[in-house]
């Protein structure tokens, strides 16, 4: 199966990029240039009508939404053991963690740069930005206290939760989160940054 | 396996409730009383530290996040055929649809009643509310044009996408969405409301 990942640097597409590396998948990448709003071009909207990254072209069609793509990568490359595929409860825990990132942490983060999605008035958008350190911080607090088992998110086994958390952790300083409050998240970020899959994906995204 | 669902009426927990009925699962329900803020009580926070519904107690532990719970129900009761479990691509399509509901539609909807999550200033919160018909409407437009195949979301087969869409569709008038613009969604809602699983779950939630 040949796969093609549409990505943009500094977005959540990094998680799927790393997971494809972790899986040993055969894939190519296409950069979507957000600086010229390429994600809203007719050509890209044909690929992903939502006008966002990531999108993954497969020989069966196109997939979107990071947690769904991450589960797809894990299921398509079972030998890479990126999720507990034969255990519905453990798989649901993996998915619940990724959903918390997607629907809580990412949404809170998006109110910093993309408040225009939810309000038009610049004053309201500024108000949203003002609360981002608190809302993103609350998500990280929950992850630190309740979720991140260590050394990997789910404990001894590396899973598709790890590249997804690592991706958001790239932005935590910019989101105004205090590093000393979340030592396990910071340690996880360091551990991830040493993996060859992470180094390869980041190098390609930043130097392509 | 005995399951216990923590739910609140008029919330997204309805989707998991219907899916448990569809699956023929043995389960009990516990109502969380939002009118007295029971979801923030120490007792409930012990069950779900996120202070939200739904939460599903299993004999292995507690699961949260609707799309993860829906996939868990489908995988735990394979004979009910609530998802294409042996086809990673088709399963990812199911998950991508549910993620679009969770991370886009539900988030847009939440800015109507729960804007305080993302801003403190009442003027900013009112601004968010003002934009809800547009943002929720955009999600439904995408579902109507690109995603809902009919008669069920994924086409001929009923899946865990159906109770989840139905749940949000309960609120579309209150969200300010024009019904004539989304005839397929409205027809789907009618079709769902005639299912015995849906009738049973709603009756229990509203008359318990």
Query: Could you read off the pLDDT of A179-197 as tens digits, one per residue?
Result: 999 999 999 999 999 999 9
Residue A207 pLDDT = 83
pTM of the predicted structure, to 2 decimals: 0.96
pLDDT < 70 regions, chain B = 208
Task: Give the nearest partner residue to B67 out of A93, A99, A130, using CB atoms.
Answer: A99
Query: Which residue of chain A is at minimal alpha-carbon distance from B70?
Result: A92
d(Cα A91, Cα B139) in Å, to the nearest integer?
Answer: 28
CB B119, CB A124: distance < 8 Å: yes
Task: Give the nearest partner residue to A96 out of B68, B108, B142, using CB atoms.
Answer: B68
Residue B115 pLDDT = 94
Contacts of A127 in chain B (CB under 8 A): 119-121, 123-124
User: Cβ separation of B130 and A146 shorter than 8 Å?
Assistant: no
Query: Could you read off the pLDDT of B123-168 as tens digits, one per residue?
Result: 999 999 999 999 999 999 999 999 999 999 999 999 999 999 999 9
Contacts of A76 in chain B (CB under 8 A): 88-89
Residue A1 pLDDT = 77
Note the Cα A98 to chain centre separation in Å.
8
Query: Which residue of chain B is at minimal alpha-carbon distance from A117?
Result: B135
Interface A–B counts its CB contacts (< 8 A) at: 142
Residue B190 pLDDT = 98
Residue B207 pLDDT = 83
Closest C-alpha to B152, from B65, B63, B84: B84
d(Cα A132, Cα A118) in Å, to the nearest integer?
Answer: 14
d(Cα A114, Cα B116) in Å, to the nearest integer?
Answer: 17
DSSP notation for chain B: --EEEEE-TTSTHHHHHHHHHHHT--EEEEE--GGGTGGGSHHHHHH-TT--S-EEEETTEEEESHHHHHHHHHHH-GGG--S-TT-HHHHHHHHHHHHHIIIIIHHHHHHHH-GGGT---HHHHHHHHHHHHHHHHHHHHHIIIII--SSBTTBSS--THHHHHHHHHTTTTTTT--GGG-HHHHHHHHHHHTSHHHHHHHHHHHH-
The bridge status of strand A3-7 relative to strand A27-31 is parallel
**Distance from the A166 Cα atom to the nearest Cα atom in chain B, whole angstroms:** 19
Residue B78 pLDDT = 98
d(Cα A10, Cα A171) in Å, to the nearest integer?
Answer: 9
Beta-bridge mates of residue B57: B4, B62
Burial class (CB in 10 A: 0-12, 13-18, 19+), A123: exposed
d(Cα B161, Cα B67) in Å, to the nearest integer?
Answer: 9
CB B154, CB B97: distance < 8 Å: yes
Largest distance between two CA atoms of chain B: 51
Reported ipTM: 0.96
Q: In chain A, positions 88-117, which contact chain B (CB-CB < 8 Å)?
A: 88-89, 91-93, 95-96, 99-100, 102-104, 106-108, 111, 117
Planar angle of CA B143, A10, A118, nearest 5 degrees = 45
Residue B1 pLDDT = 77
**Distance from the A131 Cα atom to the nearest Cα atom in chain B, whole angstroms:** 6
pLDDT < 70 regions, chain A = 208
Burial class (CB in 10 A: 0-12, 13-18, 19+), B156: exposed
Q: In chain A, positions 15-34, which contact chain B (CB-CB < 8 Å)?
A: none
Residue A118: partners with Cβ closer than 8 Å, 6 or more residues away: A111, A128, B108, B111, B118, B128, B131, B135
Tell whether A64 lies on the interface with B, counting CB pairs under 8 A.
yes
User: B108-117 burial by CB neighbour count: b if 16+ within 10 A, else e?
Assistant: bbbbbeebeb
The neighbour count for residue B174, using CB atoms within 10 Å, is 13
User: Cβ separation of B92 and A135 shorter than 8 Å?
Assistant: no
Tell whether A72 lies on the interface with B, counting CB pairs under 8 A.
yes
Task: Give the nearest partner residue to A123 out of B49, B91, B124, using CB atoms.
Answer: B124
User: Cβ separation of B89 and A63 shorter than 8 Å?
Assistant: yes
Q: In chain A, positions 127-156, which contact chain B (CB-CB < 8 Å)?
A: 127-128, 130-131, 135, 142, 145-146
Q: Which two tokens stand for residue B44?
A: 């409930």
């Amino acid at each position: 199966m040949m796969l093609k990942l549409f990505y943009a640097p500094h977005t959540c597409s990094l998680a799927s990029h790393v997971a494809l590396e972790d899986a040993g998948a055969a894939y190519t990448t296409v950069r979507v240039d957000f600086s010229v709003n390429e994600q809203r071009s007719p050509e890209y909207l044909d690929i992903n009508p939502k006008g966002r990254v990531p999108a993954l072209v497969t020989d069966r069609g196109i997939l979107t939404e990071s947690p769904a793509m991450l589960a797809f990568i894990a299921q398509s490359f079972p030998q890479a053991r990126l999720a507990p595929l034969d255990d519905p409860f453990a798989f649901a825990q993996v998915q619940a963690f990724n959903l918390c990132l997607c629907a809580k942490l990412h949404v809170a983060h998006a109110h910093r740069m993309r408040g225009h999605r939810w309000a038009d008035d610049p004053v309201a958008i500024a108000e949203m930005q003002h609360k981002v350190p608190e809302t993103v911080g609350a998500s990280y607090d929950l992850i630190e206290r309740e979720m991140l088992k260590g050394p990997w998110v789910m404990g001894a086994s590396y899973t598709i939760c790890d590249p997804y958390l690592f991706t958001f952790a790239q932005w935590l300083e910019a989101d105004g989160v205090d590093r000393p409050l979340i030592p396990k998240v910071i340690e996880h970020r360091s551990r991830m940054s040493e993996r060859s899959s992470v180094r390869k994906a980041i190098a390609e995204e930043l130097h392509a």
